[in-house]
Structure 1
Amino acid sequence: MQFIPNLFHPTKRRLIPLVFGAAVLAASCSQKTTAPTASTTEGAEAVDTTEVATAAPTYQVPVDYYKLDNGLKVVLSPDKTAPVVTVAVYYNIGFRIEPKDRTGFAHLFEHMMFQGSENLGKMEFIQLVQKNGGILNGSTRFDYTNYFEIVPAHKLETMLWAEADRMKGLNITQENLTNQQGVVKNEVKVNVLNQPYGGFPWLDMPQYANKNWYNAHNFYGDLKDLDAANLEDVQSFFKTFYSPNNASLVIVGDFEPEQAKQWVQQYFGQIPSSTLPAPVDLTEPRQEKEQRFTKDDKLANKPALAFAYHMPERNTPEYYAMGLLDQILLQGNDSRLYQALVQEKGYTGSVTGGINAYLGNMFNYNGPMLWMGNLVYDKDVSADSILTVLDQEVARLQQEGISQEQLDLAMVKVRSSLYDQLSELYGFGKADLLASFALFDDNPARINELEAEFRKVTPEVIQRTIKEYLRPTNRTILVINPQAQI
């Protein structure tokens, strides 16, 4: 099994299966922490997450943002803490907008990116990073496919050359395609079809809760669709979406910005742009009635339940309010649902979830999204009993309101999680946010505005958000019916 941290999953610092990952290699780098440089200040004041949430933000991530003539978005964020650099390339293509008769194609193509390019043969990209003491990975998410390398600082030029080499062109052969079709189909079998609770709820819930096909299809891929992919599909997909004007390049770590800019221009500057298709309509209709579904699981021996509510539009006041409500209701042992379902009722041992749960964080997506929670529970507990507790906790928030003190406590948790994100995995957590904000907002400096946006949320905005987005008619329920013979 391959693993990657579940980035910015508030209060959780655990590992989850990288179900869309192509390669993970052993690391010999030492972990980094982040510190302001260049555009802010040379010294980094230690972050005290116990301070009151109303304190003014003191930390700024250095952001140097520009674009090449071919449209490539470039973000530089120097950090001299340790002699390590992270190079991340994000392409603005995820499984949400893959072709309708080619489910799982975005993920399949991610695997193809490791099969060789003009100057690097099959597996040589991976070996290049590994032999230089680094780690690398790739993954496919709702709205992007990403690739990153974390290496000793003196290998920055090598990594930029290698990433540019495969952006220029892949070794697309029938042999490579057939091989990777088998690999991906095996992933589907191992991660979904042949294990208890496979795909629950991260793969299942979007298909039940959403109505727009682009948000609601099996993005891991139907086996027949994976088999149907051909060389022409792969070549067209690469030419269309894997172009510099559909990508962002982020460099985080110990490097000299001017030298990095020269290398970026040298290796990426001559790659031609492509003509991108018109954006796909991803909008979801307002949900007016609660939806309930049951799914039989032949391998599960206990029932499980997931709930999902459609999120507010990204970057609105209500969006940030949902981030705080997520902290209050679901994140950590002090959350209201954990206290009610685990501590008081004893229905389950844990309840987990979040915004964009299990496939990213509340910042690195760019379309309709769900706030979701799930739990496994004993057979003598009814699903209705669990939903009654959920309704009671939401009703209590609406009836009693949320004080500024409670908002401040939620803000402390958000702030702590955000700072964890910025320093996670040798700087990759920081690179993830910078790349996402460059792709989706054309503004990677937004990374320094997040705290302020959360602090704008008032108790009145919270109440408005609860009323519209935590109503039962905005909810989808999925119950796993266990079928395993004990």
Structure 2
Amino acid sequence: MIDYNRFTLSNGLRVIHNYDPTTAMVAVNVLYNVGARDEDSEMTGLAHLFEHLMFGGSVNIPDFDAEIERAGGMNNAWTSNDFTNFYDVAPARNFETLLWLESDRMLGLAFSDKALEVQRNVVIEEFKQTHLNRPYGDLSHRLREMVYRQHPYGVPTIGKDPSHIEKVTQQDVRDFFFSHYAPNNAVLAISGNVSPDQVRRGVERWFDSIPCRDVAPRNYAPEPLPDGPRETEVRGHVPQTCVVVAYPMPGYGQPGYIECDLITDILASGRSSRFYRRLLLGSDLFTSADAVITGSEEPGMLMLKGNLADPSEEAARVAVERLMAEASQLCYQASRPDRLSYTLTEARPGGVTPYEVERAINRFASDFTFSSLSYLQRAQSLAMAEMHGEDINEIVPAYRRVTTAMIANTARRVLDPRHACVLIYRPTEQSGPTA
């Protein structure tokens, strides 16, 4: 159980606080409801650029990092298609220094031409290193553009092309900042050795005077389900053939999301998972096999992925079939789906078993509980729960309510071969044209 209190400022900033007297530290986390899905299709990568620009100096603080280091702290950030998150850690006695820093960059950036040029070059170089010059680096670009034909999820967080970042102007930066980085579009989460009274006084002192802003609406349409199976084959400088099968799945908080998360654990998490036992130990076709979800706010992807030992076209086709067949077995449910004690003869061959569901739920509960021991992770989890409008203490119970019947029904609905999007990524050494 995580104890917390929450309040909202007059400008719309939501604040959630966990008091932890067992540490001498404090974590301050600011989660903004803006990500790559909020970008213009001709200026992608802007949200990620902003993650960097937010460290380039604000109205009253020209050097963010120097101030936080002077307070004995550290900071970092991340961007996704949905959100941008900033977090700071310092000794609790310097709590208000962190509030000062975060409030000043929420109030307004310095909009320095030098900072824009420096961070523009950093982001473009990161694009080259992680997506252009790395094996499989453009895999997410290829996969997303196949799965999403209309929705902005069709472009990864890094952006569609470095040229989009090259043309960003100072006016573009100002427009994006003032239409998204606002107190009424953010959650401030605090965890550490600061009392509720300290938090309220400090937050009101540093954040209450920041004006709320008009947040740009999201006007894009939802992505329709594929009207049939899709397939793309590409070539690149990669060591092995990689196959990915992606299925559209519900977004966070929608019916079936939790079941999809558990399905990927049943398939590929740990040495007792199906992929490990049947595809890796029981076959010489794969060198690795995995299953993951994108975990996005709007309908995302459940992905089955495998790297192949044999680069032949026949092996790739067999691999795709094996991945899909292994996953489709979960569509069968045990004859007594709500019993946690069972014998193997009670379950249909290949069907998901209560033991597998219980193991996946226990793994999630364990990971969630142990990660919450960290005051920094607790602050980030509290921020996300508040952004979702949920009680953080209800997350694990929601997973525990899932039954084998629910898993089987979701697998039957999501793992539909009519909606499968298959990407085959081959080494350039093989004969054939380069895509």
TM-score, normalised on structure 2?
0.89
Separation of aligned partners in 1, 2:82 and 2:70: 31
Q: 2:193 aligns with which of 247, 254, 263?
A: 254
Query: Is the partner of 1:300 in helix, strand or coil?
Result: coil
Q: 2:79 aligns with which of 115, 135, 140?
A: 140
Q: 1:442 aligns with which of 389, 392, 399?
A: 389
Query: Is the partner of 2:377 in helix, strand or coil?
Result: helix
Q: Deviations over 1:311-331 (max 9, x none)?
A: 124324422211221211121
Aligned to 2:400: 455
Describe how 1:65-80 pairs up with structure 2 within 5 A: 65-80=6-21
Aligned to 1:465: 410
Aligned to 2:338: none
Counterpart of 1:430, as a letter, is R
- The alpha-carbon deviation at position 147 of structure 1 amounts to 0.7
Aligned to 1:264: 203
CA gap of 1:131–1:373, structure 2 versus 1, over 3 A, is farther
Separation of aligned partners in 2, 1:471 and 1:134: 49
- The alpha-carbon deviation at position 380 of structure 1 amounts to 4.3
**2:127 matched to 1:188?**
yes
CA gap of 1:391–1:268, structure 2 versus 1, over 3 A, is same
Aligned to 1:118: 59
Residue pair 1:85, 1:253 contacting (<8 A) in 2 also = yes
Q: Deviations over 1:106-158 (max 9, x none)?
A: 1111111111112211xx21122233332211111111111101111111111
Q: 1:173 aligns with which of 86, 91, 112?
A: 112
CA gap of 1:218–1:256, structure 2 versus 1, over 3 A, is closer
Residue pair 1:317, 1:457 contacting (<8 A) in 2 also = no
Aligned to 2:325: 392
**2:365 matched to 1:415?**
yes
Q: Deviations over 1:135-187 (max 9, x none)?
A: 21111111111110111111111100110011111110222212221111111
Please provide the CA RMSD for this pair.
1.9
Q: Deviations over 1:314-357 (max 9, x none)?
A: 3244222112212111212211112222111132332234122x
Query: Is the partner of 1:206 in helix, strand or coil?
Result: helix
Separation of aligned partners in 2, 1:68 and 1:368: 31
- Structure number with greater CO (CA < 8 Å, separation at least 6) is 1
Describe how 1:353-392 pairs up with structure 2 within 5 A: 353-356=291-294, 362=295, 365-380=296-311, 382-392=315-325
- The alpha-carbon deviation at position 101 of structure 1 amounts to 1.4
Aligned to 1:84: 25
Counterpart of 2:302, as a letter, is W
- The alpha-carbon deviation at position 246 of structure 1 amounts to 0.6
- The alpha-carbon deviation at position 218 of structure 1 amounts to 4.5
Q: Deviations over 1:240-279 (max 9, x none)?
A: 1111001110001111111111000000000000012223
Query: Structure 2, unaligned stretches of length 5 or more?
Result: 333-347, 431-435
Separation of aligned partners in 2, 1:213 and 1:407: 32
Aligned to 2:103: 164
Separation of aligned partners in 1, 2:377 and 2:245: 28
Q: 1:224 aligns with which of 156, 163, 171?
A: 163
Aligned to 2:353: 403
CA gap of 1:130–1:238, structure 2 versus 1, over 3 A, is same
Structure showing greater radius of gyration is: 2
Separation of aligned partners in 2, 1:384 and 1:332: 26
Aligned to 1:305: 243
Aligned to 1:483: 428
Counterpart of 1:349, as a letter, is T
Separation of aligned partners in 1, 2:299 and 2:428: 33
Residue pair 1:330, 1:373 contacting (<8 A) in 2 also = no
Separation of aligned partners in 2, 1:474 and 1:420: 36
Separation of aligned partners in 2, 1:262 and 1:484: 64
Moved over 3 A (4+): none
Aligned to 2:49: 108
Separation of aligned partners in 2, 1:151 and 1:62: 21
Query: Structure 1, unaligned stretches of length 5 or more?
Result: 1-59, 357-361
Describe how 1:343-358 pairs up with structure 2 within 5 A: 343-356=281-294
Q: In percent, how many aligned pairs have the same letter?
A: 30
- The alpha-carbon deviation at position 282 of structure 1 amounts to 5.0
Separation of aligned partners in 1, 2:401 and 2:254: 11
